[in-house]
């Protein structure tokens, strides 16, 4: 069974670990968000692609929830002492990856090729693709002004309410090589439990990816990032409340109108308002351990095959 998965960072990466436990990794193509990429200290950082790479190669820090295990922070401290930017937390081992990526990009290789190189070197057997090789950059409109994604998310601690999300570069961006083929060839398309606005939204902002989903032949299953109307992590609930008017499964499904067939929701949301145009499947979605992740992955696969 071939899967194409649209994924954000940390939550998506955690979900993908379960997927790769129950599906042959070589049958899985992951299309990762690059709207929150940034250039800092002269490094090209792709936080979502890296969260996926680290999680799937066993390099991620489970306790901290982001970045790498056994991490140190000396390069950033040294750079800060010398006047360099230090607001975006980059660990030393993480910087090692960014150095390799940035150098290959400067040599003229597209991000998809560099990502493939890094994924292979890290031992990934699945395919990891950026949504696009073109620079997409997510900006959020807030009452305090418009901010680049990481400025809002990290530097300002995503305190500001968000009125709108823009992804610059998206209209003219082409899907990275392999993305459209993966969507066309998939037996199942999955949207990870990620923020619909700033994690999945920038992938769908690429017109040809959105069109491929609209015209899909395979079923598309989205997993809700909400439990009881609350985000497990991050500002998805506040954003849904403000921009969609609520945090029910119906409100979430509206973000993916015309793009999904099934929405997987948590038991805690079964009594909330459900969407009328997509099927909902109720299960436990909190990924507390490997078994919980596998169970959720199986639920996604089963949901696609089960009758409406």
- Rounded Cα gap, residues 127 and 31, in angstroms: 9
Residues facing residue 28 across a β-bridge: 3
Nearer to a second copy, 91 or 202 (CB): 91
- Measured from the CB of residue 69, what is the shortest distance to a second copy in angstroms? 11
- Measured from the CB of residue 40, what is the shortest distance to a second copy in angstroms? 9
**Pairing of β 220-223 and β 262-266:** parallel
Residues facing residue 146 across a β-bridge: 141
144 with 160: CB under 8 angstroms?
yes
Nearer to a second copy, 117 or 238 (CB): 117
- Measured from the CB of residue 139, what is the shortest distance to a second copy in angstroms? 23
Nearer to a second copy, 81 or 215 (CB): 81
- Measured from the CB of residue 77, what is the shortest distance to a second copy in angstroms? 7
The residue ranges that bind a second copy (CB under 8 A) are: 41-43, 68, 70-72, 74-84, 91-97, 99-100, 102-103, 106, 117-118, 121-122
- Rounded Cα gap, residues 4 and 278, in angstroms: 19
Nearer to a second copy, 94 or 266 (CB): 94
Q: CB atoms < 10 A from the CB of 70, how many?
A: 9
Nearer to a second copy, 37 or 160 (CB): 37
E strands in 9-52: 28-32, 38-40, 43-45
How many C-alpha atoms does 251 have within 13 Å on its Cβ side? 23
Q: Tokens representing 204?
A: 């769908």
- Measured from the CB of residue 171, what is the shortest distance to a second copy in angstroms? 28
Nearer to a second copy, 107 or 215 (CB): 107
Q: Tokens representing 156?
A: 């300002």
Query: Longest C-alpha distance within the chain, in Å?
Result: 61
Distance of CA 224 to the CA centre of its chain: 13
Nearer to a second copy, 104 or 264 (CB): 104
- Measured from the CB of residue 138, what is the shortest distance to a second copy in angstroms? 23
- Measured from the CB of residue 70, what is the shortest distance to a second copy in angstroms? 8
Q: Tokens representing 249?
A: 């499964």
């Amino acid at each position: 069974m071939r899967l194409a998965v649209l994924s954000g960072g940390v939550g998506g990466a955690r979900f993908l670990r379960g997927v790769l436990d129950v599906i042959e990794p070589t049958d899985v193509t992951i299309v990762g968000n690059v709207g929150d990429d940034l250039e800092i200290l002269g490094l090209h950082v792709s936080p979502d692609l890296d969260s996926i790479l680290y999680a799937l190669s066993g390099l991620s820090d489970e306790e901290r929830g982001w970045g790498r295990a056994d991490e140190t922070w000396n390069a950033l401290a040294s750079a800060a002492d010398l006047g360099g930017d230090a607001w975006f937390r980059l660990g030393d081992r993480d910087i090692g990856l960014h150095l390799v990526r940035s150098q290959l990009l400067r040599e003229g290789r597209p991000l998809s090729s560099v990502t493939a190189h890094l994924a292979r070197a890290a031992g990934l057997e699945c395919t990891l693709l950026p949504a696009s090789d073109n620079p997409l950059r997510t900006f959020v409109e807030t009452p305090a002004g418009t901010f680049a994604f990481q400025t809002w998310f990290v530097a300002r601690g995503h305190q500001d309410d968000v009125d709108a999300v823009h992804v610059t570069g998206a209209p003219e961006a082409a899907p990275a090589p392999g993305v459209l083929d993966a969507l066309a060839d998939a037996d199942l398309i999955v949207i990870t439990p990620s923020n619909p606005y700033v994690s999945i939204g920038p992938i769908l902002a690429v017109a040809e990816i959105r069109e491929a989903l609209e015209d899909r032949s395979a079923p598309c299953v989205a997993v809700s990032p909400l439990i009881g109307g609350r985000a497990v992590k991050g500002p998805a609930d506040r954003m849904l409340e403000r921009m969609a008017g609520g945090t029910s499964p119906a409100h979430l499904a509206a973000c993916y109108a015309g793009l999904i067939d099934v929405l997987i929701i948590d038991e805690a949301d079964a009594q909330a308002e459900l969407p009328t145009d997509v099927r909902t499947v109720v299960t436990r979605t909190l990924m507390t351990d490997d078994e919980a992740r596998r169970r959720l992955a199986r639920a996604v696969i089963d949901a696609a095959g089960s009758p409406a």
